[in-house]
């Protein structure tokens, strides 16, 4: 499987033996695998790596896995496979209601874990073929696949870098980006132009769409505006 087509998995599991076993087995199937033993570490990797599927333990040393499940499902579209040693039907119902897409109890067969992951990926791909528009505010929508933005139903022409900049903030709603970080993400690492170009692009986006979509964090940079989410 070529590097650019490999799916990325994130395992958040405090049991080191289970975490290592899953990591080894799933890498053997060609997946890119990231792993964390705490909820805090898992959320950090989730924001940095944008995995395709999250395998999440319900009981973590620093957090309740169900709380993390809710947080992730509210902010991301990533499929979540809950893992737990508890066999209570109530726990399963709670997990699914909080946003989990599937649920497995320990001990489990590695072949079944693999099959569940593949099913989640197939479901995600089918959904992505149709649901590629996201609402940025009450009157602004983005078509990620079509590389287009609409305000009040009418397409607004954005330059490629303006679109990529808007997409960056939308996909990392809680993160504050410095101008240097924005340049690294949008203009690539070898860009050596004036950092003020970031300010110019932000102002253009605000003028064309909605001034509340991107918020200035004085002395640092920019982040997704709280009023830009619906």
Q: Which of 111, 85, 96, 79 is nearest to 14 (CA)?
A: 85
Lowest mean pLDDT among 40-54, 59-73, 109-123, 183-197: 183-197
What per-residue confidence (pLDDT) applies to 55? 97
Cβ-contact 174, 75 below 8 angstroms: yes
Q: How confident is the model over 112-121, as a mean pLDDT?
A: 92
Q: What is the phi/psi pair of residue 65, to 5°?
A: -60, -30
Highest mean pLDDT among 50-64, 95-109, 121-135: 50-64
Residues 6+ apart with CB under 8 A from 81: 53, 54, 55, 56, 100, 101, 102, 103, 104, 113, 116, 117, 120
Q: How confident is the model over 162-177, as a mean pLDDT?
A: 90
Instruction: Write down all domains in the chain, each with its CATH number in brackets.
Output: 3-130 (3.40.50.2300), 133-228 (1.10.10.10)
- Count CA within 13 A, CB hemisphere, residue 1: 11
What per-residue confidence (pLDDT) applies to 144? 80
Confidence of residue 126 (pLDDT cuts 50, 70, 90): low
What per-residue confidence (pLDDT) applies to 130? 47
């Amino acid at each position: 499987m070529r590097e650019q087509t490999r799916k990325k998995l994130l395992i958040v599991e405090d049991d080191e033996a289970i975490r290592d076993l899953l990591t080894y087995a799933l890498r053997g199937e060609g997946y890119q695998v990231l792993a964390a033993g705490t909820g805090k570490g898992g959320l950090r990797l989730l924001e940095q790596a944008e995995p395709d599927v999250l395998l999440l333990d319900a009981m973590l040393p620093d957090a309740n896995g169900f709380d993390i499940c809710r947080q992730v499902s509210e902010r991301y579209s990533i499929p979540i496979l809950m893992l737990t040693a508890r066999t209570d039907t109530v726990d399963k119902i709670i997990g699914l209601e909080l946003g989990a897409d599937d649920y497995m109890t320990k001990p489990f067969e590695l072949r079944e874990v693999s099959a569940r992951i593949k099913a989640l990926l197939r479901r995600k791909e089918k959904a992505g073929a149709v649901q590629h528009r996201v609402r940025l505010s009450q009157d602004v929508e983005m078509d990620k696949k079509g590389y287009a933005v609409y305000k009040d139903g009418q397409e607004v022409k954005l330059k490629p870098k303006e679109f990529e900049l808007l997409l960056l903030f939308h996909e990392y709603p809680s993160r504050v980006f410095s101008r240097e970080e924005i340049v690294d993400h949008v203009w690539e690492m070898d860009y050596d132009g004036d950092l003020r170009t970031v300010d110019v692009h932000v102002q253009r986006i605000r003028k064309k769409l909605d001034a509340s979509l991107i918020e200035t964090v004085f002395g640092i940079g920019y982040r997704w505006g709280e009023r830009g989410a619906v």
